[in-house]
């Protein structure tokens, strides 16, 4: 095995094993009952799947994404895998699939790590071992409806640092003509259908050199999902003195993120909100009008892959407006980015117990 860690991007690199576990069940009084098999590691990356399987016919599919980090102390940390397990359970229930138990999910992730340790990049590289848990419906069905058989697979792959050079900004373009997910649809779940539905918009944006900013599907007035990531806006204002209502020199830093039933509850965003509160920022989850971009001092997309991807500008082609935010990554988001990475790489104390230390 000879991997040039610095050359890795966000591409699939084959490892020694993937981990699998199958579920076979039946419906009993409206409840799916059955058993998961013990997760096992296999070198076989292919499955023998009926072409009528519910994952292929009706989109019964969900996935996750999480990372293991080699820390500054040489130890291995898996970041918040329990939250990915819980989110996969939500996605499974959202699509009427069997939800893998948290313990089974954890066992499968640990086994995927143990059997692919050689693919965990060294600390200095900034690269990580990414896990892609996948859940698919395998029951052959012709009539429209959910299946009773499922397969969980954990697919590991080393991935490169998101910022091999400098921490930098990305530009976004608004698309009101393609909805990623309906307000009461599946946007809150991590299911393949949402991503296929977004490709028309994301690929059109990429062709123009941008990432895609989705607006809410009902009114197209509010910021929704930010490509395949959550949106964060930072507003800095002067505090008013409580008594005199006069502006004081103290600054109020507001961390704003969209409230929407159609966005994925990002584990990175949740971690950053916790850190932001600890730093004394006002953290708000609410509807964000597009025009509010004018008042943002900093903005970013956030997710497992990038942690934080700062935004320099947002183009609104329908209205002919360009919202210029900040040419360079701003100090508040840069600090939050570093604070979270410090925990993930073991450079700072993990006060929230987010990392499971493996070795």
Ligand X SMILES: Cc1ncc(COP(=O)(O)O)c(C=O)c1O
Q: Site for ligand X (CB under 6 A): which residue of 61, 151, 216, 225? A: 225
Q: Compute how many residues bind ligand X; rule: CB under 6 A.
A: 12
Q: Site for ligand X (CB under 6 A): which residue of 116, 138, 175, 304? A: 304
Smallest gap from Cβ 126 to ligand X, in A, equals 18
Q: Is 211 in the site for ligand X (CB under 6 A)?
A: no
Q: Is 205 in the site for ligand X (CB under 6 A)?
A: no
Q: Is 303 in the site for ligand X (CB under 6 A)?
A: yes
Tokens read off for 176: 């009101």
**How would you class 75 by CB atoms within 10 Å of its CB: exposed for 0-12, middle for 13-18, buried for 19 or more?**
middle
By CB under 6 A, what part of segment 245-264 binds ligand X? 264
Tokens read off for 236: 């800095």
Smallest gap from Cβ 241 to ligand X, in A, equals 38
Q: Is 267 in the site for ligand X (CB under 6 A)?
A: yes
Nearer to ligand X, 148 or 226 (CB): 226
d(CA 154, CA 296) in angstroms, rounded, equals 39
Tokens read off for 132: 């892609």
With contact defined as beta carbons under 8 Å apart, do 306 and 230 qualify? no
Q: Is 230 in the site for ligand X (CB under 6 A)?
A: yes
Smallest gap from Cβ 119 to ligand X, in A, equals 20
Q: Is 88 in the site for ligand X (CB under 6 A)?
A: no
d(CA 100, CA 89) in angstroms, rounded, equals 6
**How would you class 167 by CB atoms within 10 Å of its CB: exposed for 0-12, middle for 13-18, buried for 19 or more?**
middle
With contact defined as beta carbons under 8 Å apart, do 86 and 169 qualify? no
Q: Is 300 in the site for ligand X (CB under 6 A)?
A: no
Taking CB under 6 A as the rule, which mask of x and - marks residues 42-71 in contact with ligand X?
Answer: -----------------------x------
Q: Is 266 in the site for ligand X (CB under 6 A)?
A: yes
d(CA 43, CA 39) in angstroms, rounded, equals 13
d(CA 132, CA 113) in angstroms, rounded, equals 12
Residues that bind ligand X (CB under 6 A): 65, 225, 228-230, 264, 266-269, 303-304
């Amino acid at each position: 095995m000879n991997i040039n860690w610095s050359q890795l991007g966000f591409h699939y690199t084959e490892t020694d094993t993937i981990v699998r576990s199958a579920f076979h069940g039946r419906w009993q009084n409206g409840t799916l009952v059955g058993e998961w098999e013990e997760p096992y590691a296999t070198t076989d990356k292919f499955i023998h799947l009926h072409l009528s399987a519910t994952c292929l016919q009706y989109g019964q599919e969900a996935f996750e994404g999480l990372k293991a980090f080699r820390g500054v102390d040489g130890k291995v940390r898996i970041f918040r895998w329990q939250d990915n397990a819980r989110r996969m359970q939500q996605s499974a229930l959202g699509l009427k699939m069997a939800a893998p138990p948290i313990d089974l999910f954890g066992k499968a992730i640990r086994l995927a790590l143990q059997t692919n340790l050689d693919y965990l990049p060294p600390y200095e590289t900034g690269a990580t071992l990414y896990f892609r848990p996948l859940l698919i419906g395998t029951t052959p069905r012709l009539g429209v409806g959910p299946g009773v058989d499922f397969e969980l697979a954990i697919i590991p792959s080393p991935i490169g640092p998101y910022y091999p050079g400098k921490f930098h900004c990305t530009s976004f373009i608004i698309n009101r003509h393609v909805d990623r997910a309906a307000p009461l649809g599946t946007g809150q779940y991590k299911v393949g259908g949402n991503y296929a539905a977004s490709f028309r918009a994301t690929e059109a944006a990429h062709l123009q050199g941008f990432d895609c900013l989705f607006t809410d599907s009902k009114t197209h007035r509010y910021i929704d999902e930010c490509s395949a990531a959550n949106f964060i806006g930072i507003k800095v204002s002067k505090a008013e003195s409580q008594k005199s209502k006069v502006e004081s020199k103290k600054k109020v830093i507001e961390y704003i993120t969209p409230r929407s039933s159609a966005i994925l509850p990002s584990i990175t965003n949740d971690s950053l909100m916790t850190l932001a509160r600890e730093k004394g920022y006002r953290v708000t989850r609410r509807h964000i009008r597009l025009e509010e971009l004018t008042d943002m001092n900093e903005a970013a997309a956030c997710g497992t892959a990038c942690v934080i991807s700062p935004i320099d500008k947002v183009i609104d082609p329908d209205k002919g407006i360009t919202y210029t935010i900040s040419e360079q990554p701003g100090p508040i988001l840069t600090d939050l980015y570093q604070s979270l990475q410090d925990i993930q790489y073991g450079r700072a104390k993990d006060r929230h117990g987010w990392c499971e230390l493996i070795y």
